[in-house]
Chain A
Amino acid sequence: MTARPEALPTQEMTINMGPQHPSTHGVLRVILTTDGEVVTRAVPDVGYLHLGLEKIAERLNYSQFMPFTDRLDYLAGMNCNCAWAWAVEKLAKIEAPERAEYLRVIVSELNRISSHLISFGSFTADMGAFTPFLYGIREREKVNDLFEMLCGQRLTYNYARIGGVSGDAPPGFLEKTREFLDYFEPKIDEYNNLISYNKIFVQRLANVAVISAEEAVAYGLTGPNLRGSGVAFDLRKDEPYSVYPKFDFNVCVGSGERGQLGDCFDRYMVRINEMRESVKILRQAVDQIPEGPVMAKVPRVFKPPVGEVYFRAENPRGENGYYLVSDGSANPYRAKIRAGSFVTMNIFEKVTRGLLIADIVAVIGSFDIILPEIDR
């Protein structure tokens, strides 16, 4: 490249990406300072989708807040539902029946698959390959059908309850789940052939926005974003909850297979591989699920004892934690929600420095953010 002639002074330019930008997965505004095509600074400006969930939680009782957790991460409503139920149960020292725990794990893992499918689809669509998105949606529809059968809704499930789940698996549900797993597992290889190892796709992601393991830990990344940097930390294994210890599965980590460890491609691959592990967990859960009730005895006017508790669960987008303070009344005194996507935005400015504008899209996609989680 020839040096710029001194006679042509250039200026940095500040431009807005978003809040209405198709690749920001919602209403994220990124303030870009660019020098030509190179981004010198990218500051995410969050808050356009503020739901006020934490305040709403203070005004409602524990079971009334359940449908709102669906809105926290609308692509993984089941995971948020179950995390809320587990948090409140930990606070009130209630134990859900074993069958309910199995059902929760089944729905959580199914939802993890469907969430990763959307992540896979929208990420590849952002990278210019639209077809995989349709395949992702096609398989996700089948998961939605299963959920519709189980709880009557396709997106906002409101399935978990304090002390159990709202309904036992209807006849045929477990068989249909098994059928889905048999159908779905070969599809993962198909995705890999379709796009994952496509040279153009790989070239766009490899060595882009590399996050080292130390950085990832220091910035509090969780979930696939952390594991993409090679840190094998998964709450399902490292701080086991529910019936997860009974299942045999691996924690997927990035391996730097096409570039440096911790680049966008590693984060993408972690999600693809995690779908396989979820299938593994699901197969075991569907085979082992015991008979029994699905609801523990919980008084109708439910008042947990005075105290505070923090519970965290492994959601598709990282750690979903609820810090609950109870003053002994029917409503939480304080409910702090920790969401993976919000914390991920911390590192955004650091990793995007010096990238091209088109790579910003790759970074956002590889983080798999969801806006209601960021703004809550």
Chain B
Amino acid sequence: MGLKEYLNDIVEAVVTTAKGMRITARYGLDPKEETTLQYPEERWELPERYRGFLHNDINTCISCNMCVKTCPMDCISLEAVRGADKKMVLASYDINIGRCMYCGLCVEVCPPKSLKHSLGYEMASVNREQLILRFVQEDASEVKARVARQVAEAAAKAESPAAGKPAPPAKGETKE
């Protein structure tokens, strides 16, 4: 490499770097170009379709098991028993969000649209147990025992001729 080329290279390096630095300086100094969002003080607006934590409205859930079958990660587990009015009653509905990848496939298949994504995206827990979201607050065995009692009562009423109509549907009672 000749001396001329060598010096040329140095000049070119300085010129092109200065060119780049000018762009950097413009962005650095112009307050209009500020792009950093001061999270958590500032937040961006979440779109309607945002796929955050899952939420199941257990009052409208029909325990059809579609979400369980669709989930590729087996995050969802539910237990349901047949109530006195022949409708399914949820005994437990748990979503393990430690496994969930927020793909939204379960939400898409839910027939009554009771399972939805919420806009929540912040959560911290100190153990894995807390990552399991339980949507039925009551203990599963309690629900089962209660429903079994109701079914037995209804059956007894239906059998005894003295009773007129069967007991009103137990649906209301299973609500939280």
Chain A residues proximal to chain B, CB less than 8 Å:
60, 63-68, 129, 131, 135, 138, 141, 145, 148-153, 156, 158, 166-167, 170, 190, 193-195, 197-200, 203
Contact = CB atoms under 8 A, between A and B. Distances in A.
Nearest to A64: B72
Contacts of A68: 72
A63 B103 CA distance: 11
Contact of B72 (A67, A131, A166, A167): A67
Given A138-B35, A156-B103, A148 B12 contact: no
A198 B103 contact: no
B49 A131 contact: no
30 contacts: A64-B105, A65-B72, A66-B103, A67-B101, A68-B72, A141-B35, A148-B47, A148-B49, A148-B50, A149-B47, A150-B49, A151-B51, A152-B47, A152-B50, A152-B117, A153-B51, A153-B102, A158-B105, A167-B49, A170-B47, A170-B48, A193-B23, A194-B20, A194-B23, A198-B13, A198-B17, A199-B9, A199-B13, A199-B17, A200-B17
Nearest 10 A/B pairs, CB to CB? A67-B103, A152-B51, A199-B13, A152-B49, A64-B72, A199-B12, A149-B47, A194-B20, A198-B16, A158-B103
Contacts of B49: 148-152, 167, 170
Contacts of B24: 131, 194
Contacts of B46: 148
Interface string B25-58: 0010000000100000000101111110000000
A291 to B, nearest CB: 20
Nearest to A150: B49
Nearest to A135: B27
B108 A198 contact: no
Contacts of A149: 47, 49
Contact of A198 (B9, B20, B50, B51): B20
B128 interface: no
Given A64-B70, A151-B51, 20 more contacts: A64-B105, A65-B72, A67-B101, A67-B105, A131-B20, A131-B24, A148-B49, A148-B50, A149-B49, A152-B117, A156-B103, A158-B104, A170-B47, A170-B48, A170-B49, A190-B23, A193-B19, A198-B13, A200-B13, A200-B16
B17 to A, nearest CB: 6
A195 B20 CA distance: 6
A42 to B, nearest CB: 28
A66 B105 CA distance: 10
Contacts of A150: 49
B16 A156 contact: no
B101 A156 contact: yes
Contacts of B35: 138, 141
Contacts of B104: 152, 158, 166
A180 to B, nearest CB: 14
